[in-house]
Amino acid sequence: MDIVHERAAGMDISKRDVKVAVRKPGKRKGSYVTEVRTFGATTNQVLALIEYLQSEQVTTVVMEATSDYWKPFYYLMEDQLPVRLVNAKQARNIPGRKTDVNDATWLAQLAAHDLLPGSFIPPEPIRQLRDLTRSRSALVHDRGKVYQRMEKFLESSGIKLSAVASTLTGVSARNMLDALIAGERDPKVLANMAQRRMRSKIPELIDAMEGRFTDHHAFMMKLFLQQADGLTEMIDALEVQIGEAMIPFQEAASAIATIPGLSDTAAQVIVAEIGVDMSVFPDAAHLASWAGVCPGQNESAGRSRSSHTRGGDSYLKAVLGTAALNATQQKDSFLAARYRRLYPRRGGSRALVAIEHTILTAIWHMLANGEVFQDLGGDYYRQRNQTRAKIRAVKELERLGYDVHLEPAA
């Protein structure tokens, strides 16, 4: 096997230190030796490691993506050394020989032959935006959990507010909860705090607000509301910061948001996860594979096994899944027509993944080539092949028991 890098380094990283194996030419022609050293994980130690690798004149450095421990090493090295982050599954060592030193030596050997593809690491502005959007997603999820606990606790007190109000986050529900915490127990007084459309449900609210809400319940509900309000303040602060971080990428986000089913928030998440430079993905298929929205391949001896989608970026897959569901509700869009076309043959889950794939493919072309999204319309498949559409419609009517005779319209 050809050697691409005469001097290569492999790094096995842990929380406290790193084992570094440098593979370089030996004294005899055609021979190679590997030197393994240990460095700490502090910034000073990482800087010393960089000096060591530079003195060894390595032309490639490979490290495994171990938890988040690789980040301080990669971020300090990316501007000074040809460093590459690789998937640990693609760099598995021989079973039964698992030590940190062996892992580092194995990585150096693979790096010398250039056998490990690098992982996608976005530039610093995108990484900062990603930190913000992921933090927002986590806080929104946490706030939802708080409201769920609040709803369960209300059930224990006999208050059935959530059975009448669609959400506990509305103005009417919040007014009633604040009054309950303040000591108000009269169901009629509480129900009359309803606002706007909720006022039509006052009779139901009077019945729902009858319960055994005690001082203990008031104390717990006050804590829950304070926690939810604190999370809301944090989310609002993140929204402001995200807006500032999105300024350089606003044009790309606005273009992405024109795709049916995608909101401005979803566009922000997509930009944060894949960036705006599509040169890192050779084509749309590579992006879809990286994101985990295409079928897997598992064939042996001519037999195809499971073709489940691989694990990908969970934040990206979540927002694509939501966008796909929203797109299927828009009757006059191409994405909805594609979903209806695939659903009878593939089922709902596979059809949704296909819509996610279509959305991501469109995004790649928009960012890579500066194209504008053009919806092909809900009648795209019917217009593309009118003869097949006619035959399909006739067969469907005949299956229902009709005798069909077609005549051209005048």
> Are the CB atoms for 150 and 220 separated by under 8 Å?
no
- The percent of residues in the chain predicted with pLDDT above 70, rounded, is 95
Q: In this predicted structure, what is the pLDDT of residue 377?
A: 84
Choosing from 112, 140, 174, the residue where a domain stops is: 112
8-state DSSP, 4:
S
Asked if residue 383 is part of any domain, the answer here is no
Choosing from 112, 139, 171, the residue where a domain stops is: 112
CA 61 – CA 50 distance, rounded (Å): 10
Asked if residue 381 is part of any domain, the answer here is no
Q: pTM for this structure?
A: 0.84
- Whether residue 360 is found in the same domain as residue 254: yes
* Residues constituting the chain: 410
139-163 pLDDT, tens digit each: 999 999 999 999 999 998 999 998 8
Asked if residue 405 is part of any domain, the answer here is no
DSSP-derived 3-state class of residue 85: strand
8-state DSSP, 120:
P
- Whether residue 106 is found in the same domain as residue 129: no
Q: Which residue has the tokens 């698992």?
A: 98
CA 349 – CA 347 distance, rounded (Å): 6
Asked if residue 188 is part of any domain, the answer here is yes
Q: In this predicted structure, what is the pLDDT of residue 39?
A: 94
- The two tokens of residue 197 are 């459309």
205-238 pLDDT, tens digit each: 999 999 899 999 999 999 999 999 999 999 999 9
- The two tokens of residue 113 are 């032959």
DSSP-derived 3-state class of residue 211: coil
Asked if residue 183 is part of any domain, the answer here is yes
- Whether residue 132 is found in the same domain as residue 183: yes
- Whether residue 256 is found in the same domain as residue 241: no
How many domains does the chain divide into?
3
- Whether residue 232 is found in the same domain as residue 174: yes
In one-letter notation, the amino acid at residue 24 is: K
Asked if residue 390 is part of any domain, the answer here is no
Beta-carbon neighbour count of residue 277 at 10 Å? 13
CA 174 – CA 228 distance, rounded (Å): 12
Choosing from 81, 112, 143, the residue where a domain stops is: 112
Sign of CA dihedral 32, 33, 34, 37: negative
CATH of the domain at 80: 3.30.420.10
- Whether residue 261 is found in the same domain as residue 358: yes
Per DSSP, the residues of 246-300 read TGGGHHHHHHHTTSTT--HHHHHHHHHHH-S-GGGSSSHHHHHHHHT-S----EE
CA 372 – CA 370 distance, rounded (Å): 7
Q: Which domain holds residue 24?
A: 8-112
- Whether residue 88 is found in the same domain as residue 141: no
- Whether residue 102 is found in the same domain as residue 167: no
DSSP-derived 3-state class of residue 237: helix
Q: In this predicted structure, what is the pLDDT of residue 93?
A: 61
Contacts of 28 (CB under 8 A, 6+ apart): none
CATH of the domain at 136: 1.10.287
- Whether residue 131 is found in the same domain as residue 166: yes
**Among 75, 64, 54, which residue's Cα sits nearest to residue 18?**
64
Per-residue pLDDT of the chain (410 residues; tens, 9 = 90+): 688 888 999 999 988 999 999 999 988 888 889 999 999 999 999 999 999 999 999 999 999 887 889 999 999 999 999 999 988 777 776 565 678 888 888 899 888 988 888 888 899 999 999 999 999 999 999 999 999 999 999 998 999 998 898 888 889 999 999 999 999 999 999 999 999 888 999 999 999 999 899 999 999 999 999 999 999 999 999 999 999 999 999 999 999 999 999 999 999 999 999 999 999 999 999 999 899 888 766 666 667 666 677 777 889 999 999 999 999 988 888 999 899 889 888 888 889 999 999 999 999 999 999 888 888 888 888 777 777 778 888 888 888 888 888 887 75
- The two tokens of residue 158 are 């006999």
**Among 2, 28, 66, 30, which residue's Cα sits nearest to residue 10?**
66
CA 194 – CA 191 distance, rounded (Å): 6
- Whether residue 258 is found in the same domain as residue 231: no
Kindly tell me the burial class for residue 231, based on how many C-beta atoms sit within 10 Å of its own C-beta (0-12, 13-18, 19 or more).
Answer: buried
Phi, psi (deg, nearest 5) at residue 20: -115, 120
Q: In this predicted structure, what is the pLDDT of residue 29?
A: 83
Asked if residue 154 is part of any domain, the answer here is yes
Asked if residue 401 is part of any domain, the answer here is no
Q: In this predicted structure, what is the pLDDT of residue 378?
A: 82
- Whether residue 317 is found in the same domain as residue 219: no
CA 102 – CA 51 distance, rounded (Å): 23
Q: In this predicted structure, what is the pLDDT of residue 83?
A: 93
- Whether residue 284 is found in the same domain as residue 359: yes
